[in-house]
Structure 1
Amino acid sequence: MELTFLVYDVIIQVYAMLIRVSSLFNPKARLWVNGRKGWRQSLKNKVPAGGVDIWMHCASLGEFEQGRPVLEALRSLYPEKCILLTFFSPSGYTVRKDYPIVNHVCYLPLDSRKNARIFLQTIKPKLVIFVKYEFWFHFIREISKQQIPLLLISALFRPGQLFFRSYGKVFKQSLLSYNRIFVQDKNSLDLLKNTGIEECVIAGDTRFDRVLTVMEQSKEIRAIDTFLQGKSAWVAGSTWPPDEQVIRGCSDLISKWIIAPHEIKEDHLLYIEKLFGEKTVRYSILKDAPEKFTDKTILLIDNVGMLSSLYRYGQAAYIGGGFGSGIHNILEAGVYGIPVVFGPKFQKFKEAKDLIYLQGAFSITLENELKDVIVRLGNDLFSKSAGDICAHYVHEHAGATEKIIRFIQEKRFLTN
């Protein structure tokens, strides 16, 4: 066992060294390194002497969106409790460092025996919640050693993961440290049960609860109503250049497009403007005098935070990322009862596979395939049927947050 953890420690240190080298020329790596400098003193300054009541850890922004419904439910039930939120990635921390629901936000220090011990001695949590894929073994061992309740929520497991391999027995043991693992599907549950993990149940994915809340809170945006002039529109969310290239070849088939790129760096915005030409207008320019730009057909969203409310304006949605490492959140669009379309890299996302099978979603690889889908969805009955399938799917899978909160209350983790 000790040899295995020695190898693990070496891997962690090599990873940290590579990040430090990358930080010399990579801005994200620089944020990762700088955000952890002096973390011990910073943590002592932030956290009260008595520690925190709840510690939730998320890898990045996507996992935060899964943890968010649980955090907000806990804050509503326990308004006086002290909550700490940590991130591994700068993409989560930089966006949510001022998240008002929690008391403190910081980076999680590198996983080592010493760091885990100091971190937990400082924050003294009564309850720890990890989200989806977080398995930092020294932190888990220290949490178990201190007999702190530990939950894993919205978890997914696959047969190829380290826990289920012959040489991964030591790491499988760490799963026994969780008081309860809330998984998203039966495949994950069966994997755990077959390897002797009993404290696991199917709760579902908390993202379904989150997108329903966002939809209920979304508001009309007058500038966009004026821009659309009652015409049909597609919303393209979290796009990357390969997505935008495909859309460009089909853009004339739709009266209006709202494009919200995943990255809103100036060079990317300029690239999109050049790609689509003079028919493009940025939201920052349009918003103060939208009536002047009704002749434009491409609205380029150049801010963060609007996307989940924009899908309400779509006849359908194109979700980016499918030509890269994987698609972004399709549930944010599907909850509005509109069909969703995306590129070929969707296999890791259960909701995408399910909705393709149910004919609420469509995957494309080529520009001509997108043209074909646009034509098919031009049929109102077909489009409505696909959209209804998406909306029903979201509502049917909601409720994970309630199951998690009920367990926390039943176990009385936060009553002392």
Structure 2
Amino acid sequence: MYAIYNLIVSTSWLVLRLLAKVNTKLSLFVKGREHTLGIIRKNISKSDPVIWVHAASLGEYEQGLPLLELLKLRYPEHKLLLTFFSPSGYEVKKNTPAADVVTYLPMDTKKHVREFLDLVDPKLVLFIKYEIWPNYLSALKERNVPTLLVSALFKKEQIYFKWYGRFMRNALNTFNTFYVQDKNSKSLLKTIGFNNCTVTGDTRLDRVSKILDADNTLEFMDEFITESHCLVAGSTWPEDEKLLVAYINLSTSDMKFVIAPHNIKHEHSRRLKDSITKPTLLYSEKKGKNLQDSQVLIVDTIGLLTKIYSYASIAYVGGGFATGLHNTLEPAVFGIPVITGPKYKGFKEAEDLIALGGILSVNSQTALNQTINELRSDKNSRTVSGKTNSDYISKNKGASIRIMEDITNLLNP
């Protein structure tokens, strides 16, 4: 099986290099990796003690960020190396100050693994949530490098728990400790012989908790919202926008709406604006405009959504009618009700909060209309749902601190 895996990875890398010639995203994926070793040679010397943190993409980066910040604070003499698998993570965070060096992770071939680890020579490795690369993990074990899986979430449907999943189960043997999000994950690992597991929760809760300590003031939002309620719809896909636009166009209230699409390309934002019959303004065109004259604001830029959520009385998080839910914790931390689509399975925080009543899942236009109207008109419902969300985050935060206690023991035995 190991030989088959190596053949698949090597063949995949060859195919990706060919496809990269005609696909922009794949081009970033391939060409970015051509510079990885050079970046490491330039920024890490043989005498540098290195802590390596790997995140698949942007979501895993957000989970790992609280630990990156603590590691940088407590171990300033170490170089922090952050690697990404996907361009959607690396291209957005390649200049993050949270790490000393940021690169793509080379493909999981024996040659790439050997070259990478010979240069990096990490003293500690943290993989975030799901990333399981057998060749990297096997090599780390051979080199006796402490390796942790952080904020992991296991489900019985995963390959590790299938009769044919022995190869991937063996890859799990590398980890010194699994820091999992829930008791179910711990129980599942125990069924396949892993007892080195600690339930710490999700480090993302630590991340979003800090949002409340930041200055979330935005001058344009202060101007846009007066005394009206405001619904902020974040990370929306076309499937979400179709329903939201239908509601907005039929609305007879003075409620304000902010839509921050997942796709911020100008053509998409312009089409979205043209589909709305209420006075609508693009963020990119707000200069010189009176924002109070608009009922709908389309945010066609990145980096503002978290602060915008602080102005909402109701939030809608996109992806639940499309490819899968986006981050529901960012609006939830502000103590407001959150609406999502029906595709939330596998997102633990969403599952928990839907069961508790803080997040409200809708599956149709009628359900969306009814839910928004009820929340808008019923202050008590908004208050109860919002408090459920903020209480959940407050109660379950602290995973990073618990993990850091073990890391301290590993680095300072």
TM-score of the two chains, using structure 1 as the length reference: 0.95
SS of alignment partner, residue 333 of structure 1: helix
Q: Corresponding residue for 2:283?
A: 283
* 1:32-86 Cα shifts (integer Å, max 9, x gaps): 0111125333432232222442100000000000000000011111223211000
Does the 8 Å contact 1:52/1:84 carry over to 2?
A: no
1:9 pairs with 6, 10, 13, which one? Answer: 6
Matches of 1:33 and 1:17, distance apart in 2: 10
**Shift, 1:336, TM fit:** 0.3
Matches of 2:159 and 2:352, distance apart in 1: 26
1:83 pairs with 80, 83, 104, which one? Answer: 80
* Pair 1:383-2:379 in alignment: no
Q: Corresponding residue for 2:296?
A: 298
Once the two structures are superposed, the pairs formed by residues 232-381 of structure 1 within 5 Å of their partners are 232-251=229-248, 252=251, 253=253, 255-277=255-277, 279-286=279-286, 288-289=287-288, 292-378=290-376, 379-381=378-380
**Shift, 1:92, TM fit:** 0.6
Q: Corresponding residue for 1:215?
A: 212
**Shift, 1:21, TM fit:** 3.8
1:398 maps to a residue whose letter is: K
Matches of 2:192 and 2:151, distance apart in 1: 19
1:309 maps to a residue whose letter is: K
* 1:254-305 Cα shifts (integer Å, max 9, x gaps): 611111111211222112112225621122332x446x13111111112111
Relative distance call for 1:49 and 1:254 in structure 2 (3 A) is farther
Matches of 1:120 and 1:138, distance apart in 2: 11
Does the 8 Å contact 1:137/1:171 carry over to 2?
A: yes
Does the 8 Å contact 1:320/1:342 carry over to 2?
A: yes
Is 345-354 or 148-157 further displaced after alignment?
345-354
Relative distance call for 1:402 and 1:123 in structure 2 (3 A) is same
Q: Corresponding residue for 1:190?
A: 187
**Shift, 1:360, TM fit:** 1.2
Does the 8 Å contact 2:49/2:123 carry over to 1?
A: yes
2:165 pairs with 168, 183, 191, which one? Answer: 168
Matches of 2:201 and 2:58, distance apart in 1: 19
Does the 8 Å contact 2:133/2:171 carry over to 1?
A: no
SS of alignment partner, residue 310 of structure 2: helix
Q: Corresponding residue for 1:93?
A: 90
**Shift, 1:160, TM fit:** 2.1
Q: Corresponding residue for 2:108?
A: 111
1:199 maps to a residue whose letter is: N
Q: Corresponding residue for 2:51?
A: 54
Does the 8 Å contact 2:278/2:296 carry over to 1?
A: no
Matches of 2:168 and 2:353, distance apart in 1: 34
Once the two structures are superposed, the pairs formed by residues 113-152 of structure 1 within 5 Å of their partners are 113-152=110-149
Relative distance call for 1:266 and 1:14 in structure 2 (3 A) is farther
Matches of 2:321 and 2:7, distance apart in 1: 34
SS of alignment partner, residue 339 of structure 2: strand
1:366 maps to a residue whose letter is: S
* Pair 1:63-2:55 in alignment: no
Matches of 2:217 and 2:151, distance apart in 1: 31
Matches of 1:129 and 1:324, distance apart in 2: 31
* 1:321-366 Cα shifts (integer Å, max 9, x gaps): 0111211000001000000101111011111121111111111121
Q: Runs ≥4 in structure 1, deviation > 4 angstroms? A: none
Is 141-150 or 298-307 further displaced after alignment?
298-307
Q: Corresponding residue for 2:402?
A: 403
2:375 maps to a residue whose letter is: L
Q: Corresponding residue for 1:199?
A: 196
Does the 8 Å contact 2:50/2:79 carry over to 1?
A: yes
Matches of 1:244 and 1:200, distance apart in 2: 41
* 1:69-106 Cα shifts (integer Å, max 9, x gaps): 00001111122321100000001101110111211100
Q: Which runs of 5+ in 2 are unaligned?
A: none
Does the 8 Å contact 2:33/2:104 carry over to 1?
A: yes
- RMSD value, Cα: 1.6
* 1:138-173 Cα shifts (integer Å, max 9, x gaps): 000000000011011000111122222222223212
Q: Which runs of 5+ in 1 are unaligned?
A: none
Identity of aligned residues (%): 38
2:257 maps to a residue whose letter is: W
SS of alignment partner, residue 223 of structure 2: helix
TM-score of the two chains, using structure 2 as the length reference: 0.95
SS of alignment partner, residue 276 of structure 2: helix
1:271 maps to a residue whose letter is: R
Q: Corresponding residue for 1:228?
A: 225
1:279 maps to a residue whose letter is: P
Does the 8 Å contact 1:255/1:297 carry over to 2?
A: yes
Relative distance call for 1:254 and 1:63 in structure 2 (3 A) is farther
